[in-house]
Structure 1
Amino acid sequence: MRTSNSSVDLRALHAFVAVCETKSMTEAARILGVSQSAVSQLIAALERDQGVSLFDRDFRPVRPNAAGRVLFEQAGDLLEHAQAVAQNVRAAAKAGVAGLRIGCVDSYAAAVGPHLVRSLSDRVQDLSLWSGLTPILSEQLANRELDLAICTEAALDPKRVALRPLFSECLVAAVPNRATGQKKYRDIRDALSDLPLLRYTGRSVIGQQIERLITHLNIYAPRRYEFDDTDPLLSLVAAGVGCAVTSPLCLWQSRCHLADISVVPIAPTRLGHRHFFLMTRQGEWSDIAEAVAHESVQIVRDTLTPLLHAALPSLPAKIFDSYTTCFEAVGSR
């Protein structure tokens, strides 16, 4: 005895319904835009898969038998459901996604993240925003634990990962405010003559970059204090314990300390800029990635820049720039 297959081929089901409605293989073929032979093959495949005959072939015009009538009565709901599923999938693809997992470095998550979530709320039904160190985020993207990663270093194989430059920010020196009549620091060297350097740990990309920068500038500062996180570092700057090299996004991340902090200049150099990249797996999430990139740049330019300058008037006039513009301008000096 032949056992039936529980699955139903939707193309064959379309052909079956068309034959039942038109009572003609020829007319069904015309409606479906295929040959009569193709319709006959689809019907034969459907009968073979189900293990039953679906038409009473002793009658003309053709008509379904008892099994065929049962299938015809239920076929409409099946096809309607399949069409709804396809439409929902296409709508989700066009709008972005039903769920999106974004990983980003801590300063981006704290400063840009809340604005980005609001801007994407109409395009994404479920949004997860994770924060962490660049090496960990890169690994999570490669392992499909994340859909997008916003990092400060391009650490993955470009054949597997699409990389979109976002923007750059200049590194600055944060020093404690001093009461009227006490010493005002002119630059990072002046501050280091009086205060220890509070460092980011070498586990972080920003910590590694700052070490390269101070080495390039021939600045010597003994290692005394190192931190994984911006908040304890800047809280100690605000308390007058030391000074630190940091970035505008990091300053805004810990903005509760800004009233007690000033910014002094660092000599301009290519190493004095921190670059942000958006990474996705090749061929995936391209539409939503473009939206995230556009929104990120707009948030930094139109929202964060004015807020930072209002809180810290001593910041350089141009603290953010597009990646390529900043890279070329500094490199040409």
Structure 2
Amino acid sequence: MAETEGSPRKGLNLRLLEIFAAVVHANGMTGAATALGLTQSAVSQAIANLETSVNARLIDRGTRPLKLTLLGDIIYRRTIEILDRVQDLDRAIELQLNNAIPMLRLGVADSVASTAGPHLVRNLDRLAAQFMIWSGASEASVRSLAERKVDFILTAEEAPPEAEFVSIPIFEEPYVLVLPIELSEPHYTLETLIAAAPFIRYGNQSFIGLAVDAYLQRNGVMPPNRYRLDTSDSVLAMVEASMGWTISTPLGILKTRIGSPRFHCLPLPSPAPTRRISLVARRAEGEALAMQIADAARNALVEHCLPGLKDIAPGAVFRSEFS
């Protein structure tokens, strides 16, 4: 019987589309076979069956690396949309049935993972059967979410997400001066601090490092580039050793677990910048789940981290409610 307009093509099914997407993602059939736990011949046959179903070539087999034909590119983009919708439907069904989703992949800012992380996972424990959590600037970036390496991110990235993403604010903290105990005057200007001791910078690829450099530039000061270290632990260890001063965040300090009397925190000269932690998700894709994760993260930060943050930076203003 001939196909009628609107009827499904013979042989076209979700599994073939999943295999096709895996081939494109892995940039070849060998990688797709490994990722799917199939033989390479099974993957090749599935692609052949899909091409037979649409009566056209989808992959240009004469090029390396793999390239899609025009129709192949169209079908790939539609396939990703379909698979996303199926995954979203599966999650919605599982949540409606109060069942755990199979896996939750989170990219989390390092300072959040190291302080609120265990409490966050405990709050989400019944939500997923398996958790995969990565921490760090690249893992908690919008790019990582766009490339589907993770399902959601808890990030301090300041770049506004594109229209395809939704951002839910979780927590906001101020940047503060972190001074060695030798610098004990209650009132400093940036200029007097630069004259008094070396400024210790964060790596220029970190969110904190970029935000601090931007703040200094706005205030018309640029300390000599003498020390630059790539982690909060190493930056704060330098301050603890009286090698200089820095600008950091209370969460970054709490992460180091340094309760040292060798340094103290003071407010930055106004207008002081703040750092906002947000939950970012793909728009129209698991947004109900995103709200649950956002609430769990906010609870973990407020209940388990806020008291320590207030001890680190007395008088500082922290926000966890946003209109």
- The reply on whether 1:113 has 2:114 as its aligned counterpart is no
Q: Which residue pairs with 1:295 in the alignment?
A: 296
Query: d(CA) in 1 for partners of 2:140 and 2:90?
Result: 36
Query: d(CA) in 2 for partners of 1:323 and 1:171?
Result: 18
- The reply on whether 1:142 has 2:140 as its aligned counterpart is no
1:236 to 1:321, Cα distance in 2 relative to 1, 3 A: same
- The reply on whether 1:169 has 2:173 as its aligned counterpart is yes
Q: Which amino acid aligns with 1:232?
A: S
Query: d(CA) in 2 for partners of 1:89 and 1:167?
Result: 27
Residue 234 of structure 1 and its aligned partner are, at CA, apart by: 0.4
SS at match of 1:125: coil
- The match for 2:210 among 205, 208, 211 is 208
Query: d(CA) in 2 for partners of 1:145 and 1:304?
Result: 28
1:126 to 1:171, Cα distance in 2 relative to 1, 3 A: same
Q: Which residue pairs with 2:250 in the alignment?
A: 248
SS at match of 2:141: helix
Q: Which residue pairs with 1:226 in the alignment?
A: 228
Residue 207 of structure 1 and its aligned partner are, at CA, apart by: 0.9
Residue 195 of structure 1 and its aligned partner are, at CA, apart by: 1.1
SS at match of 1:249: helix
SS at match of 1:165: strand
Unaligned runs of 5+ in 2: 1-9, 12-88
Pair member with larger Rg: 1
1:240 to 1:188, Cα distance in 2 relative to 1, 3 A: farther
SS at match of 1:98: coil
Q: Which residue pairs with 2:17 in the alignment?
A: none
SS at match of 2:295: helix
Residue 276 of structure 1 and its aligned partner are, at CA, apart by: 1.7
Q: Which residue pairs with 1:91 in the alignment?
A: 94
SS at match of 2:220: coil
Q: Which residue pairs with 1:64 in the alignment?
A: none
More helix by share: 1
Q: Retained in 2: the 8 A contact 1:113–1:129?
A: no
Query: d(CA) in 2 for partners of 1:302 and 1:205?
Result: 25
Residue 309 of structure 1 and its aligned partner are, at CA, apart by: 2.7
Query: d(CA) in 1 for partners of 2:299 and 2:140?
Result: 27
Q: Which amino acid aligns with 1:166?
A: I
TM-score (norm 2): 0.65
Q: Which residue pairs with 1:317 in the alignment?
A: 315
Query: d(CA) in 1 for partners of 2:231 and 2:96?
Result: 37
Q: Retained in 1: the 8 A contact 2:108–2:139?
A: no
Residue 301 of structure 1 and its aligned partner are, at CA, apart by: 2.4
Q: Retained in 2: the 8 A contact 1:134–1:151?
A: no
- Count of aligned residue pairs for this structure pair: 235
Note the 1:189-204 alignment, pairs <5 A.
189=190, 190-204=192-206
Q: Retained in 2: the 8 A contact 1:154–1:277?
A: no
Residue 134 of structure 1 and its aligned partner are, at CA, apart by: 5.0
Q: Which residue pairs with 1:276 in the alignment?
A: 277
Query: d(CA) in 2 for partners of 1:206 and 1:170?
Result: 11
TM-score (norm 1): 0.63
Residue 266 of structure 1 and its aligned partner are, at CA, apart by: 0.6
Query: d(CA) in 2 for partners of 1:177 and 1:90?
Result: 56
CA RMSD, aligned part only? 2.9
SS at match of 1:215: helix
Residue 87 of structure 1 and its aligned partner are, at CA, apart by: 10
Residue 220 of structure 1 and its aligned partner are, at CA, apart by: 3.2
Query: d(CA) in 2 for partners of 1:253 and 1:320?
Result: 17
Q: Retained in 2: the 8 A contact 1:107–1:250?
A: yes
Query: d(CA) in 2 for partners of 1:97 and 1:305?
Result: 30
Deviations along 1:231-271, whole A, 9 cap, x unmatched? 100011111001110001101111225442200221232x6
Q: Retained in 2: the 8 A contact 1:168–1:276?
A: yes
Query: d(CA) in 1 for partners of 2:220 and 2:297?
Result: 34
Q: Which amino acid aligns with 2:151?
A: D
Deviations along 1:292-333, whole A, 9 cap, x unmatched? 2112222222321212333x3xx24233114757xxxxxxxx
1:136 to 1:224, Cα distance in 2 relative to 1, 3 A: same
1:88 to 1:264, Cα distance in 2 relative to 1, 3 A: closer
1:123 to 1:231, Cα distance in 2 relative to 1, 3 A: same
Query: d(CA) in 2 for partners of 1:136 and 1:253?
Result: 16
Unaligned runs of 5+ in 1: 7-85, 326-333
1:176 to 1:185, Cα distance in 2 relative to 1, 3 A: farther
1:239 to 1:91, Cα distance in 2 relative to 1, 3 A: same
Residue 123 of structure 1 and its aligned partner are, at CA, apart by: 2.2
Q: Retained in 2: the 8 A contact 1:105–1:150?
A: yes
